[in-house]
Amino acid sequence: FYNLDVFRAKGLKAPRNWQEFEEVAKALTSRQAKGFIFVTDPQAWLFEAMVPSRGGNLVKDGKPNFASKEALEALEMLWRLNRAGALSARSMAESTFAQLDFVRTKGMMVMASIANWPAAENFSFAFTLGVAPVPREPGGKVPMGGAQLVVLKGASEAQVRGALEFWKYLMEPPNVARWVQASYYVPVRKSAIPLLEGFYRENPFRKVAFEQIAYAQERPRHPQFSAWAVLLAEALEKTLKGEVPPQKALEEAQRKAEAIR
């Protein structure tokens, strides 16, 4: 999400890769505003988007991969922006302040899930809002995540059958389309896309998220990933709020994650 009016005034375009992103963030920075607002959420969800979009992964061969070249490049970029005064780092507890900073033009770009769109709609913007895909390098991916439906191991046969019927009902294209419009998420079936053409025409911001499916990948599916991600989020805070060098912070998070059994 970005302040389109300021972009236009400065002759800037939405960054397509991370080098452009860093340059744009610095160009947007002034005494009154930071170029980029970054939230260190407990699951490192926003930072995660910066790694596969560079061609890397936070999990490799079933093990944490926090000290990878791509993860280090991502955190070093944030580190440089922070030291240049172009970054406002906020914790998840400060996420409301991050939103207000953006609305009040104290920050010019902020990264968030399209599921945060309802929160954005609650604000009255004094500027034109722009929405762009996550910057990425050639061959880069973006992580796609959401919620899941599960059937517990102890469910009866009747409950399993009922859950399956409910799942089949949800997967019918008209119901997928209804779900997308109500939930702010993206369709999980291609057959629902024709039913959403008019909706996306009227909601171009949400279409931006939908179009990223073409180069999306699922979040790491590992039973320990949530615990590992907490350690990664701590590393981000140490670097961006505690001045711990990126490599040291990531290597520490890697060691701690490897120790979790």
Tens digit of pLDDT at every position of the chain (261 positions): 999 999 999 999 999 999 999 999 999 999 999 999 999 988 899 999 999 999 999 999 999 999 999 999 999 999 999 999 999 999 888 888 898 999 999 999 999 888 777 777 788 889 999 999 999 999 999 998 887 889 999 999 999 999 999 999 999 999 999 999 998 889 989 999 999 999 999 988 889 999 999 999 999 989 999 999 999 999 999 999 998 999 999 999 999 999 997
Predicted local distance difference test score (pLDDT) of residue 235: 97
**DSSP string computed for the chain:** -EEHHHHHHTT----SSHHHHHHHHHHH--SS-BSEEEEE-TT-HHHHHHTGGGT--SEETTEE-TTSHHHHHHHHHHHHHHHTT-EEEEEGGGHHHHHHHHHTTSBSBB---GGGHHHHHTS--SS-EE--PPP--TT--EEE--------TT--HHHHHHHHHHHHHHTSHHHHHHHHHHHS---S-GGGGGGGHHHHHH-HHHHHHHHGGGGEEEPP--TTHHHHHHHHHHHHHHHHHH---HHHHHHHHHHHHHH--
Domains in the chain, CATH or no CATH each: 2-145+219-259 (3.40.190.10), 157-214 (no CATH)
